[in-house]
Amino acid sequence: MVMTYIWLAAIAVAVLYGIVIYNGLVNLKHGIGKAWSNIDILLVQRHSELPKLVETCKQYMQFERETLSQVMAARSAADGARQNGDVKGVGAAQTALTAGLGKITATVEAYPELRANQSIQHLLGRITGLENAISDRREFYNETANANNVRLEEFPDVFIARFFGFKPAVLLEFTSAEKSDVDVGALFRG
């Protein structure tokens, strides 16, 4: 009789432990969704600012149409990847978008009439602020995704994760071009 109680207690402890592991994995999964949603909000805000910047710059930058077109094409690619939840696609599109914005910023700095334009300066400041916030959110997203991925491989969590079909999260990675120093001279030549 005592052995039956011991076995029942052991089973109850194992079930409770499994529930704790499951709930922890669920919290991590939803944390990843929340982190991605925070990035998504900022990307939408930045993408709504870009056409304003491009339109304002068009008034002054007749000779820079190619740069403006590249920025808008990269914006479209980033927006499409974002809407599809394609984390890798967002990373690649953001690299192209950042390069295009760098060219616009370098052009603005090179021409006094652009530098003096308050609308352009306001839009560049807003976009720069959004870029910084996106960078912070990307770091938080990757930390959350990494914590999830580690838990999915840890013992005994791996058994619960596999049984309930938890999947690893994709990290939002940057290309080597995005991580390298900006060649300002090349931006003026481009």
Query: pLDDT by residue (tens digit) across 68-78?
Result: 777 778 888 88
CATH architecture of 15-189: Up-down Bundle (1.20)
Q: pLDDT tens digit string along 44-96?
A: 888 788 777 777 776 666 656 677 777 778 888 888 888 887 877 887 777 77
Using a pLDDT cut of 90, give the percent of the chain over it: 34
Q: What is the pLDDT of residue 64?
A: 64
Q: How close are the terminal C-alpha atoms of the chain, in Å? A: 83
User: pLDDT value at position 181?
Assistant: 43
40 burial type by CB count under 10 A (0-12 exposed, 13-18 middle, 19+ buried): middle
Does the reported pTM lie above 0.75?
no
Distance of alpha carbon 134 from alpha carbon 138, whole angstroms:
6
Q: Which of 4-8, 49-53, 135-139 has the lowest mean pLDDT?
A: 49-53
Q: Is it the case that residue 9 has pLDDT exceeding 60?
A: yes
Mean pLDDT estimate for the chain? 81
Share of the chain above pLDDT 70, in %: 86
**How remote is the C-alpha of 108 from its chain's centroid?**
27
Query: Which position has the higher pLDDT, 188 or 102?
Result: 102
Task: Return the residue matching tokens 């710059």.
Answer: 57
Is cis: bond before 112, omega within 30 of 0?
Answer: no
User: Under a CB-based contact definition with an 8 Å cutoff, are residues 131 and 98 in contact?
Assistant: yes
